[in-house]
Structures are given as structure tokens and as C-alpha cells.
Chain A
Amino acid sequence: DGGITQSPKYLFRKEGQNVTLSCEQNLNHDAMYWYRQDPGQGLRLIYYSQIVNDFQKGDIAEGYSVSREKKESFPLTVTSAQKNPTAFYLCASQSGGRSYNEQFFGPGTRLTVL
């Protein structure tokens, strides 16, 4: 089955540690996205990538980093510089650049920093 996988589903880290969230897609999509969701709030864009080896900052990129070395993979690193990293993180992908193309979402990773 084609889709987006995110692992792990739940992640616990100590304050001050960097942590990397995995996102893999087998939909052959060019574009990939990372969002952050806080309780009772909408989605905020962290980073996005429209092609391999290229990515752009979203609205809340500070304290995060990404790489896009393969079309299928778009890992997100939450660094110790991110002041409030506890949140639900969603990865998405999209085929092509048409405005009407939908984004497909993974199941999310819930990160808790202790």
C-alpha cells in the first residue's frame, strides 16, 4: 500500500537533547512538508521541500533542521534550540505543483520533552 510512514508514534526525550523524527513516503511525490500541531490549534508549517536536495523554511523553522537527500525521505531534527518542542508533528507529501493537488498526511509523531 502506498502511503506515508512516520516513526516512532510516541517519542520521549530529555530537555537539551536533539531528536530526529522520521518521515518516509512511497507515493513518488516530489514535495514533502513538516507541520507542528499544538493542542486546540491549527497546523503550523516548519519546513518544506519541493525537490530533492532543496528545502525552504516555513513559518516556525527556528530550532528545527531538515534534509532531503532522497525523494522518499524527509527527516526532521528537533534541536535543543527549540524552546518548546513538546507537540504533535505531522509529515505530508504532495504530487506536483498543481494548486488542486491534495496533501497526504502521515499518522504523526507525538514528541514529549521531559
Chain B
Amino acid sequence: GNSVTQMEGPVTLSEEAFLTINCTYTATGYPSLFWYVQYPGEGLQLLLKATKADDKGSNKGFEATYRKETTSFHLEKGSVQVSDSAVYFCALRETSGSRLTFGEGTQLTVNP
């Protein structure tokens, strides 16, 4: 079956530090890949997505590239802010599927 593995958290960084959150996946076919963000006490919001190999999704300074050869979709940001503190979820959906498969989430805390 499909699965998504995220790096274990929590991750704590200082403001303006570089962020990487690793995400690898197992799936058949050519899934679409997503990063969602959840701020405390809220629902999830789509951060970015990529639908085919070598696509780069980007939003709000965050980027992730769909790497089929390494089955990865790592999230990066060059300079984090305190407001980026949240839980980040990597997810995939198969081409023919209607369900999202989520990773376990990575808690990010950015200190001033």
C-alpha cells in the first residue's frame, strides 16, 4: 500500500535559519504530492503541491521538488520566521485514487 514517511520531530530553529523537512514515499504509479501546514488549533491548509516528476512546488518562500528517482519530496525554506511555527504534513494521492495518505507530521518551532 501507499505510505509517507517524514523526518521525526520536533524541529527547533532560530529565526532566519535554513529549514529542511524530509519526506519520502512509497506508491505505485505516479502520485501527486502535497505539503500541508497546520497552525495550532486549526485545520490543515495546503502549502504547496507537485503533480509529476521534477515539478517544483513553491509558496510563501517554501519549496519542494518531486524526485521520482529517490521517491522524495523534501520541504525547504531559506530563512524561517517565528510565524512559520506549525505542524507540517507531507501527503500523496495516487493517480486513480480519491484518498490522501498523510505522513505523521513534523512539529516546527522557530525561536526569535
What is the bound-complex CA distance between A4 and B49, given in angstroms? 21
For B95, the closest partner residue in chain A by CB is: A99
B103 near A105 with CB under 8 A, answer: no
A100 near B98 with CB under 8 A, answer: no
A42 near B103 with CB under 8 A, answer: yes
Contacting residues, chain B, for A97 (C-beta < 8 A): 98
Main secondary structure of the interface of A (DSSP, over half): strand
What is the bound-complex CA distance between A99 and B94, given in angstroms? 6
What is the bound-complex CA distance between A58 and B102, given in angstroms? 13
For A102, the closest partner residue in chain B by CB is: B46
In the complex, how many angstroms separate the beta carbon of A86 from the nearest chain B beta carbon?
Answer: 16
B31 near A99 with CB under 8 A, answer: yes
What is the bound-complex CA distance between A6 and B43, given in angstroms? 10
What is the bound-complex CA distance between A51 and B95, given in angstroms? 19
Main secondary structure of the interface of B (DSSP, over half): loop
Interface residue? B89 (CB, 8 A): yes
What is the bound-complex CA distance between A38 and B49, given in angstroms? 25
For A94, the closest partner residue in chain B by CB is: B98
B104 near A42 with CB under 8 A, answer: yes
For B50, the closest partner residue in chain A by CB is: A100
B43 near A42 with CB under 8 A, answer: no
As a 0/1 sequence over residues 1 to 36 of chain A, the CB contacts with chain B under 8 angstroms (1 = contact) are 000101000000000000000000000000101000
Interface residue? A84 (CB, 8 A): no
What is the bound-complex CA distance between A64 and B105, given in angstroms? 24
What is the bound-complex CA distance between A66 and B38, given in angstroms? 25
A106 near B43 with CB under 8 A, answer: yes
In the complex, how many angstroms separate the beta carbon of A50 from the nearest chain B beta carbon?
Answer: 6
As a 0/1 sequence over residues 72 to 102 of chain A, the CB contacts with chain B under 8 angstroms (1 = contact) are 0000000000000000001010100101101
B49 near A100 with CB under 8 A, answer: yes
B51 near A43 with CB under 8 A, answer: no
For B29, the closest partner residue in chain A by CB is: A99
